[in-house]
Structure 1
Amino acid sequence: MRHYDEILAIAAERKGGVEATLSHVHRPKSPEELETIPEDRWLSEMARHIFQTGLSWGTVDKKWPGIEEAFHGFDVARIAHMSEDWFDDLLKDTRIIRSGAKVRAIQENAEFILRVHNERGGFAHVIATWPAETYMDLLDWLKKDGARLGGNTGAYMLRMMGRDGFMLTHDVVARLIAEGVIDKAPTSKAARRAVQEAFNTWRAQSGETFNRISSVLAQSIDA
């Protein structure tokens, strides 16, 4: 596979220079910053991405103040212990996007966060201290133990919360295929391990964040 600098050069040629290629990439938060994020904000961001599936961001953004209100600011303990009466009331509440499966997933994620809090010293602590070298395992953990956090949902949630990570978008997967890392979207353990190793190599070569490497890979592909 190509050295990171070669892929950056491809992206820069397409985008009008290195500065233009890198200018819009957000700086991830430090582990110390991540650890200060309250658990209700993690649940809120999970919920935002769960509600967004199949809808436009504009629809979700418009309803978001009402959703926050209906879920009592995403109080983790309160939602984890949601009664069936509250669940039924939410499905009638016009402030939210009324999907029983999505509301149940939010409750299950509240249970997940609460369990991690009790067993591992805090959800934010686990996210903040998870080694970058095994980031793919973090995504797999969210998918396995959380609800509706598979695909790119968990990765987008982490990105929005400030955790450094890579996104396996269509363009990123296309670049990984072009570099011979994988031959299709990575679903097997072997393929996902190969993706992690490739990103670890590019990170070692460049000293860049996964956020930036992921962006560069995506921009190196013709749209």
Structure 2
Amino acid sequence: MEKFNDIYQRAVSRKGSEEMLQALLSNPLDDADIAKMHDDLWLEEFTRKVFQSGFYWSVINNKWAGFRDVFWDFSVEKLLMMPPDMLEQKASDERIVRNFKKVQTIPENAYMIHEVAEKHGSFSQFIADWPTDNIIGLWAYLKKHGARLGGNTGPYALRALGKDTFLLSRDVEAYLRAHELIDGGLQTKKSLQAAQDFFNELQQQSGYSLQALSQLVAYGVGDNRVGVATR
């Protein structure tokens, strides 16, 4: 397995300089900040990522104000009291992307968030407390207890709201396969654990977040789009 410095130096070389690479990296929120989030934000982001899956993200983003109007700003409390026939009405509203199966995930994920909050004080606290050295365990929890949150959907939602996680993007997957760290299916328990072990090792070597580390891996392979000008 490559050492952190090998990966870092390759990314520096591809991006032109250490300054340019560092400008591309980002870090997650602190656990304390995540714990302060309103739980409704999680339902909103889960829903956004569910709808973005299989669609152009720009289409969903352009309609997002309509989604927020139709679904009461993703209020978990209000959505849990919504009768089934009202859900059908909302699913046909022209202000949103009318996909009833995806709309059904909204009350289902609202219920998951509510159930977790009952046990842990808030869903945000639950997310904040989850150890990142087993982030794939959180992915598995969302897949099992949520609706349509498997694959990359759950991880991308976590990343969007600041939870430290690596992502199995195409570039990261290509790296893991090229270095024979995974084989077979990407979402098998064996592959997921191998990816977790790899990023845990890099984190121990570097002190970087999982988020920054997966970005570094991706910047070292695939298309080399720099996109940052030196000032």
TM-score of the two chains, using structure 1 as the length reference: 0.95
Q: How many residue pairs end up in the alignment?
A: 223
Partner of 2:104: 104
Aligned alpha-carbon RMSD (Å):
1.3
Partner of 1:206: 206
Would the aligned equivalents of 2:11 and 2:216 in 1 still touch at CA under 8 Å?
A: yes
Partner of 1:41: 41
Q: Give the residue type in structure 1 aligned to 2:217.
A: L
Matches within 5 A, 1:39-78: 39-78=39-78
Would the aligned equivalents of 1:176 and 1:182 in 2 still touch at CA under 8 Å?
A: yes
Partner of 1:7: 7
Would the aligned equivalents of 2:151 and 2:187 in 1 still touch at CA under 8 Å?
A: no
Partner of 1:220: 220
**1: CA distance between counterparts of 2:165 and 2:172?**
13
Partner of 1:180: 180
**1: CA distance between counterparts of 2:191 and 2:73?**
39
Q: Give the residue type in structure 1 aligned to 2:189.
A: K
Q: Give the residue type in structure 2 aligned to 1:80.
A: L
Instruction: State the 1:211 CA deviation.
Output: 0.8
Instruction: State the 1:95 CA deviation.
Output: 1.1
* Cα offsets for 1:168-211 (capped at 9, x unmatched): 01110111122331124432222211111111000000000011
Matches within 5 A, 1:41-190: 41-190=41-190
Structure 1 residues 119 and 27: CA distance shift in structure 2, 3 A: same
When structure 1 is superposed on structure 2, of 119-128 and 33-42 the one drifting more is 119-128
**1: CA distance between counterparts of 2:5 and 2:82?**
51
In structure 1, stretches of 5+ residues that fail to align are none
Would the aligned equivalents of 1:43 and 1:109 in 2 still touch at CA under 8 Å?
A: yes
* Cα offsets for 1:25-82 (capped at 9, x unmatched): 2221100000111011110111111111222222112211111011011110221232
Q: Give the residue type in structure 2 aligned to 1:2.
A: E
Would the aligned equivalents of 1:173 and 1:184 in 2 still touch at CA under 8 Å?
A: no
Structure 1 residues 11 and 184: CA distance shift in structure 2, 3 A: farther
Instruction: State the 1:24 CA deviation.
Output: 2.1
* Cα offsets for 1:60-115 (capped at 9, x unmatched): 12211111011011110221232122112112211111111011011100010001
- Percent of paired sites with the same residue: 36
Would the aligned equivalents of 2:44 and 2:74 in 1 still touch at CA under 8 Å?
A: yes
In structure 2, stretches of 5+ residues that fail to align are 224-231
Would the aligned equivalents of 1:25 and 1:215 in 2 still touch at CA under 8 Å?
A: yes
SS of equivalent residue, structure 1 residue 167: coil
**2: CA distance between counterparts of 1:68 and 1:188?**
35
**1: CA distance between counterparts of 2:222 and 2:105?**
36
Q: Give the residue type in structure 1 aligned to 2:36.
A: T
**2: CA distance between counterparts of 1:186 and 1:85?**
39
Q: Give the residue type in structure 2 aligned to 1:113.
A: I
